Structure 1
Amino acid sequence: MKVLLYFEGEKLLAKSGIGRALAHQQRALTSVGIPFTLDKNDEDYDILHINTYGINSMHMVNKAKRQGKKVIYHAHSTEEDFRNSFIGSNQLSPLYKKYLINLYSRADQLITPTPYSKELLEGYGIQVPIEAISNGIDLDKYQPDHEKEKAFREYFQLLPDQKVIISVGLFFERKGILDFVEIARQLPEYTFIWFGHTPMMTIPKQIRDLVNEDHPENVLFPGYIKGDIIEGAYSAADLFFFPSYEETEGIVVLEALASHQNVLVRDIPVYKGWLSNGHNAYMEKTNQGFIEKIKGIVDGTLPQLSEAGYETAKQKSIDEIGYELKEVYTKVMNTE
């Protein structure tokens, strides 16, 4: 059994959660000894495992079907998480949904990151079998490291007693960026850092203005940063705060949990079954609720949940995901 992992526009999407999902799939398949290729011209494969949605992706699916190959579509995207993102996304979302249904329905099997996103897809009326498998997390990569933490604090010239709240994501309204900045405005005693980047021409003016100039001095937008600085930030910060309104999983949440970091998220359905408020993460619904939780976590008046969070990340390690993918591949290969 050999798998073609296909990813259209890899450079464009490398900074997104989907981009990291591809890297995790490679690690997962390697961990369980499943041969794979990334070369779309390599026709010596049995299963096309496809991650993207462009015209070339549709062409690859059609070609694979003509050749009698099995097709697994990794359903990272839904209409719900397309909304409130790029310029015009809300107007286009009904068409996008139809396009996704058409694409996903051509597969022999769908994989989607969470039971929540599985429920959404089933609600679309898609008849293809669907398995919920986490995108997974590289536990070793995010273990706290003194040198990485030092690199982070030196990069931002942080004082020893400076309290820092971080988030990671694209510049989308859906990600809660407006709330992040408003909350920071009301908590000037803390430093808020939003890691990530989105081409400015693709996002609404309100978000462009927010990132470029319309934010208080205690908010930093350093752009997309990888390596020691961001990995050090995950563990050295006082809190990972992710106020997103809609996710299919949220790889950055897994990265924070794997970093032994306290996590505060919006209470939305995607976390049902793996995050529990007050057990392995904190959850809130309103800005005032977020403010109260941030103060309690950072000032130490609320219990630290980082170790329980790490135990959750361990359940979604790349090795575990490898075995789950192998099971799905085997099932698909044995299906007429």
Structure 2
Amino acid sequence: MLDIHMFSTATKVKGQGVGSAYMELVQLLQRHFQNEFKVSINQYGRSDISHYHTINFRFFLSTFFRRRGRKIGYVHFLPETLEGSLTIPQPFKGIFYHYVIAFYRRMDHLVVVNPSFIPKLIAYQIPANKITYIPNFVSRKEFYPQSPEQITALRQHYQIPADQFVILGAGQIQERKGVDDFVELARRNPDIQFIWAGGFSFGKMTDGYERYKKIVDTPPANLRFTGIIERSELMNFYNLSDLFLLPSYNELFPMSVLESFACGTPVLLRDLSLYRSIIAGYYVAATDVDDMHQKIADLREKPASLAYMQQQAQAAADYYSEERLAKIWHRFYVEQAKEG
């Protein structure tokens, strides 16, 4: 039996995708391989594999301990992807960015959630043969389509008319997520109910916190900010919505998109190159806020197009299913243990 030690503090900060991805993987291993893998959380004893999900300094120090087994680093972000998310003054920003790469270099192998990270890591002098792409996934035990009767009841619960078109966005409230465009689209479409599920996971450290706090406190009449909510309630919002919109300027492999797919909700995204390599064909792409406005109008006017994108969402959920990814993770851990 392989002894796998997971290291993470991602669940301490609610409303961020890293925590969701971490929990999904731990639960996958416990459900599928409890007779093959022994999984421990934040334990520093002897192990076959030490899998680091967050880059805490004490985790970094533990990489110098003996008998840590094969050291695996999960790359959820790079220094450049933090721009527009957090406000870190100099010289602390430069020091932290240097530390991020130093942490990754300490690993025996890295797992990236998006293949676009591979050339960037290579540019940081990390060999390509030490990097593996394994996408995120979502368990259908937690995110799944609800019945029309359940959706009707949900709309009544949240006081949303049964015939009103609903657009959902999700994630931390920050500039990188394209929240400004989401607000602008709400202003342009007063007859549509817009909902943003998420909040300020990092409080006042969030880039542009004061400005976004004012928006959250006084939004357009048809825009609702839920704040940070539990994943079980988030599933309700995916199901009662007609369209999921994520206007992010910079993303990794957003869990919110996979969660939307799993619930069978059509997806509209900003046209980013990183999406094309991982979910091409499963979503509607838009270049800017004007294009998003037009795509929304097109989908509302053409129910058949919306229904087709619902089918594509379900197809994406099948491809990024827990069952398929379980096989990939099993093979990866076994191969890495042999390298240890």
**Shared fold, TM over 0.5:** yes
Aligned-partner Cα distance in 2 for 1:148–1:223 = 23
Equivalent residue for 1:291, pick from 288, 293, 317: 293
Aligned-residue offset at 1:245: 1.0
Q: Is the 8 A contact 1:240 1:262 kept in 2?
A: yes
Which residue does the alignment assign to 2:196? 194
Q: Is the 8 A contact 1:47 1:70 kept in 2?
A: yes
Distance 1:42 1:160, change over 3 A: same
SS in 2 for 1:22: helix
Q: Is the 8 A contact 2:114 2:278 kept in 1?
A: no
Distance 1:39 1:288, change over 3 A: closer
Which residue does the alignment assign to 1:130? 131
Distance 1:283 1:6, change over 3 A: same
Output the TM-score relative to the length of structure 1.
0.91
Which residue does the alignment assign to 1:87? 87
Distance 1:111 1:327, change over 3 A: same
Which residue does the alignment assign to 1:50? 52
Aligned-partner Cα distance in 1 for 2:242–2:278 = 22
Distance 1:90 1:184, change over 3 A: farther
Which residue does the alignment assign to 1:256? 260
1:117-137 CA distance string (max 9 Å, x none): 223222322236111101211
Give ranges in structure 1 of 5+ residues lacking alignment: none
1:186-229 CA distance string (max 9 Å, x none): 1111111000121542222222222222x311111011222543
Q: Is the 8 A contact 2:109 2:131 kept in 1?
A: yes
Aligned-partner Cα distance in 2 for 1:139–1:91 = 44
Aligned length: 330
Q: Is the 8 A contact 1:193 1:222 kept in 2?
A: yes
Aligned-partner Cα distance in 2 for 1:91–1:187 = 43
Which residue does the alignment assign to 1:111? 111
1:305-325 CA distance string (max 9 Å, x none): 111221122111122222212
1:25-36, aligned counterparts within 5 Å? 25-30=25-30, 31-33=32-34, 34-36=36-38
* Aligned residues: CA RMSD: 2.2
What is the percentage of aligned positions where both structures have the same residue? 24
Aligned-partner Cα distance in 1 for 2:117–2:69 = 26
Which residue does the alignment assign to 1:164? 166
Distance 1:36 1:298, change over 3 A: farther
Distance 1:148 1:167, change over 3 A: farther
Output the TM-score relative to the length of structure 2.
0.90
Distance 1:208 1:133, change over 3 A: same
